[in-house]
Amino acid sequence: MDLWMLYALMKKSRLFEEAVAQLWQRGLISGEMHLGTGEEAIIAGIVSQLMPGDAMAVDHRGTAAFLMRGIDPVALLREMLGREDGLCGGRGGHMHLYSKEHLAASSGIVGAAGPRAVGFALAAQYLRPASVAIAFFGEGAMNQGMLLESLNLAAVWNLPVIFVCKDDGWAIITQPQEAARGDMGERVHGLGVNYVAVDGLDVDAVWSAGSQAIERARTGGGPTFLHNRCVHLEGHFLGYELLRVTRRPFQELPKLTVPVLRSFLRKGGGSLKERLAGMKMILSKLWSTMRDPREDENNDPIIRLRQRLMVDPGRLNEVDQNALTEISAVLSAALVEVTR
Amino acid sequence: MRLMYFSEAIDDALAQAMVEDPNIIVFGEDVLLLRRNLLARFGPARVRGTPISESAFLGAGVAAAMAGLRPVVEVWQVDFLSVGLDALINHAAKLEAFTHGNWTAPIVVRVPCGGGYGDGGQHEQSLWGWLAHIPGLSIVVPSTPADAGRLMLSALRQDGPVVFFEHKLLSEIYLAALGSGGRESVQFDVPAEGNRGPVPDKWAPLPLGEAIIRRDGGDLSLISIGVGVHRALEAAQALGKDGVSAQVLDLRTIQPIDKFQVCQAAAKTGHVLIIDEDYEGFGLSGELAAILLEAGISVKYARVCTQTTIPYAQQLEKQMLPNTECIIASAKSLLVG
Ligand SMILES: Cc1ncc(C[n+]2csc(CCOP(=O)(O)OP(=O)(O)O)c2C)c(N)n1
């Protein structure tokens, strides 16, 4: 494992997505925008180990995985800008990225990465021996039937799939304790899939767990499920309402609370007790967002890794500079002919 | 009279129905956020979130309806209904037929639909024709806040399953969450009258299957539903400046469909242009042609629909979705040809 190489991948991805965020803010990218900032260690730890012939099924948050897989960053950005020379001719957008050449496909349908990775792995068994398929998804997707069925199918057919769960503790506003009972590990075990819990903020840990899982899959040992915890630094998507409210309470809070209070006070409806219980749930969402671990630098995988690489500040600075130069060049190439 | 936004009107009518009927419960993904106003008024027993398990919670909604509740089940986008479609197609829609009319499932499935804000082809579909194809499902696609609230009320009084479409360009809630996300740098082609408008002080149901003439005219009948109605109205206005008098018929519901008014509008002008944001093939636009043929009404006919998968790129998306310019162009060639 080369921590420096992993750091460079993560740093470039971060800079790229920060640029995406700015373009989105300026209105040059339309629709929703799900950033992978905060999960770079998971993506880098896995994707850096892929070989030609390996496949990748990603969800709505796939930019970092595509970037780290070596897919042309200019084409990626041009895609988000909706240009004819984008990765998919501007037809897909960031939730629908595809690269046939890399056997990489994304989808906005939560859980769809499961069956897709299983199918890629099945094809690998016939056509590309010793190749593997990766599925990237969030913990929310683990309640989707097709993903659970895929775990089962991968186990039954002993397929070379690595199910990579990026667990940030939120599925839009739904938290795991509201959406699932029981332990994720037991659930996965129960389906006959090898389960490993990983600190998704530590690229070293992800890489090691990934390396074992991939080796196992390549050599006919069947599927593994890697359960990585992480924090999404920008929440579910850019402009995520709960984060907006907690970040700019004076402007945003009244927009939420005034209608809620008005409704709370309206005649007809639940008892006071029921209404209070409803209010409590709304407040607890805000409260958990405020207490969210975003402020803690230790929850940023890049800052974490930097602390380790500080042993050689000169080299670190050089890697940072190179990443910046590279992404700036990508940005200027991608913004050619883009006005506004 | 009050002024309300589109989704606000739906929620308001729904709240009125919830006060009257304690068996109405609301559940779906992230409704604690989307329906927080209802949550604060009715409490968590009647407004509940679900895991991302469409096949389970839609199926459960159908069965709960069979067993006496009136669930309003929400899915984030109509596109994602695909994941839980069995519940609707093979169960909700079949029950009445299988029991020879003895048992029905009064579930309302509330789904955002439609494009024009840049989310791309897996998030911007309409798909009402696809669902209307199945006997046993009622399909409602309102185009104004007043209709939306009133149709929600009647949806809640049906014996059988209703799919209630809420266009994201009309919905202040969905457009803010999915389109702008707090940005001021983006603008959408939102039909003003569909987004906000007068609503009654007390909601009364609007029977399903009653179309309405939004604009009268004698040369050409534009027939549409949802946002398409507003595009048709804009086009009709522009056509008026060129001396063409176009009538606009808003179907409001697809199943049941108001055959009588469709035929009447067609017979009146002899020229029919369908505007349907759903896909062109095997859907509403073709069905309307069949209705006219079966009734023996011979007209000049054309349609402006979504032809293929909706592209992400803004400009392409705009061209793909039925827009005023292509309605005007089609109308003119229909009248000339
Ligand atoms: C089948 C389906 N249902 C619902 C949605 C709406 N949706 C988009 S992302 C999301 C949350 C996904 O949570 P998770 O899998 O944990 O991934 P995260 O976004 O947190 O990375 C939901 C509900 C969808 N895209 N597809």
Q: Do A33 and B181 touch (CB under 8 A)?
A: yes
pTM above 0.90, yes or no: yes
pLDDT in tens, A143-190: 999 999 999 999 999 999 999 999 999 999 999 999 999 999 999 999
Q: Taking every pair of C-alpha atoms in chain A, what is the biggest distance, in angstroms? A: 68
Does the beta carbon of A263 lie under 8 angstroms from any beta carbon of chain B?
yes
Mean pLDDT, to the nearest integer, of A30-47?
A: 98
Nearest protein CA to atom 12 of ligand 1, as residue: A171
The answer to whether residues A163 and A94 touch, using CB atoms and an 8 Å cutoff, is no
pLDDT score of B314: 95
pLDDT digits (tens, 9 = 90+) for A296-324: 899 999 999 999 999 999 999 999 999 99
d(C-alpha A47, C-alpha A49), whole Å: 5
Give the whole-angstrom CA distance, residue B115 versus residue B226. 11
Phi-psi category of residue B244: left, alpha or beta, with phi > 0 → left and psi -120 to 50 → alpha = beta
CB contact under 8 A, B38 and A263: yes
- Ligand 1 lined by A140 (C-beta under 6 Å): yes
Indicate whether this complex's ipTM tops 0.95. yes
Kind plus residue range of the DSSP H or E element containing A106: strand A104-106
Lowest mean pLDDT among A136-150, A231-245, B133-147, B238-252: A231-245
Task: Identify the residue with better confidence: A246 or B90.
Answer: B90
pLDDT tens digits, residue range B150-181? 999 999 999 999 999 999 999 999 999 999 99
In sign, the C-alpha dihedral spanning A247, A253, A255, A256 is positive
- Where along chain B do the CATH 3.40.50.970 domains lie? 2-199
What pLDDT does B40 receive? 98
Which residues in chain B are contacts of A20 at CB distance < 8 A?
A: none
Residue at token pair 């990603």 = A58
- Model confidence at B51: pLDDT above 70: yes
Judged against a pLDDT cut of 70, whether residue A54 lies above it is answered with yes
Give the ligand 1 atom nearest the CA of A61. Answer: 21
Q: How sure is the predictor about B203, in pLDDT bands with cuts at 50, 70 and 90?
A: very high
Cβ of B29 closer than 6 Å to ligand 1, yes or no, is yes
Nearest-by-Cβ selection for A278 from B39, B52, B185: B39
Between CA B219 and CA B300 the distance in angstroms is 11
Residue B80 has pLDDT above 90, yes or no: yes
B86 Cα to chain A: minimum distance (Å): 13
Residues of A in contact with B41 (CB under 8 A): 263-264, 266, 269-270, 275, 278
Nearest Cα of chain B lies from the Cα of A321 at a distance, in angstroms, of 31
Alpha-helical runs (H) found in B242-283: 259-269
Nearest chain A residue (CA) to B50 = A179
* Residues of A whose CB is below 8 A from B119: 30-32, 93, 95, 108
Quick one: A220 exposed, middle or buried, by C-beta within 10 A (0-12, 13-18, 19+)? Answer: exposed
Q: What average pLDDT does range A214-238 have in this prediction?
A: 97
A14 lines ligand 1 (CB under 6 A): no
Residue B101 DSSP class: T
Residue A291's pLDDT is 83
Instruction: Tell me what pLDDT residue A132 has.
Output: 98
Average pLDDT over residues A88-99: 97
CATH architecture of B2-199: 3-Layer(aba) Sandwich (3.40)
Question: B191 near B241, Cβ under 8 Å?
Answer: no
Whether B88 has a pLDDT exceeding 80, the answer reads yes
A30 vs B314: CB contact, 8 Å cut-off?
yes
Contact B61, A282 (CB under 8 A): no
- Residue-wise pLDDT for B63-75, tens only, equals 999 999 999 999 9
What CA–CA distance (Å, rounded) separates A126 from B128? Answer: 40
User: With contact defined as beta carbons under 8 Å apart, do A233 and A289 qualify?
Assistant: no
Q: Is the CB of A240 under 6 A from ligand 1?
A: no
Quick one: pLDDT at residue A317? 98
Q: What average pLDDT does range B228-255 have in this prediction?
A: 98
Q: Indicate whether A339 pLDDT > 70.
A: no
- Average pLDDT, rounded, for chain A: 96
How many angstroms separate the alpha carbon of residue A238 from the centre of ligand 1?
14
Partners of residue A271 in chain B, C-beta under 8 Å: 43
Nearest to A266 by CA among B4, B305, B16, B184: B16
In the A/B pair of chains, how many CB contacts fall below 8 A? 187
For B183, the closest of A25, A86, A91 (CB atoms) is A25
Which positions of B are catalytic?
Answer: 123
CA–CA min distance B214, chain A (Å): 31
pLDDT score at A337? 81
Cβ-defined contact of A145 to B38 (cutoff 8 Å): no
Q: In terms of Cα–Cα distance, which of B263, B253, B231 is closest to B148?
A: B253
Taking the centre of ligand 1 as the mean of its atom positions, its distance from the CA of residue A1, in whole angstroms, is 32
Which candidate from B118, B119, B313 shows the least CB-CB separation from A91? B313
Instruction: Classify strands B300-306 and B271-279 as parallel, antiparallel or unpaired.
Output: parallel
What average pLDDT score do residues A286-302 get? Answer: 89
Instruction: For residues B9 and A338, give the distance between their C-alpha atoms in angstroms, rounded to a whole number.
Output: 40
Q: Quick one: fold of B212-336?
A: Rossmann fold (3.40.50)
Residue A184: its chain B contacts at CB < 8 A?
none
Q: How much of chain A, in percent, has pLDDT values that exceed 70? A: 99
Q: Which of B16, B53, B312 sits opposite A93 (nearest CB)?
A: B312
- Average pLDDT on B252-261 reads 98
Q: Would you call B119 and A31 a contact, using CB atoms and an 8 Å cutoff?
A: yes
Q: What is the pLDDT of residue A292?
A: 76
Q: Looking at residue A338, what is its pLDDT?
A: 80
pLDDT score at B71: 98
B residues 117..136 contacting A (CB < 8 A): 117-123
Q: Is residue A340 scored above 90 in pLDDT? A: no
Interface of B with A in 4-23 (CB under 8 A): 15-16, 18-19
Residue range A109-138: mean pLDDT, rounded: 98
Q: Please identify, by atom number, the ligand 1 atom nearest to the C-alpha of residue B123.
A: 25
Q: Please tell me the distance in Å from B218's CA to the nearest CA on chain A.
A: 40
Is the minimum distance from the CB of A169 to ligand 1 under 6 angstroms?
no
The CATH homologous superfamily of the domain defined by A3-233+300-335? Thiamin diphosphate (ThDP)-binding fold, Pyr/PP domains (3.40.50.970)
Q: Is the pLDDT of residue B337 over 90?
A: no
Cβ atoms B22, B218 nearer than 8 A:
no
**Average predicted confidence (pLDDT) for chain B:** 97
- Summarised one tens digit per residue, pLDDT across range B262-283 is 999 999 999 999 999 999 999 9
Nearest residue on chain A to B119, judged by CA atoms?
A: A31
Q: Does residue A254 carry a pLDDT above 90?
A: yes
For A280, the closest chain B residue by CA position comes to: B40
B138, B109, B91, B113: which is closest to B29 by C-alpha?
B109
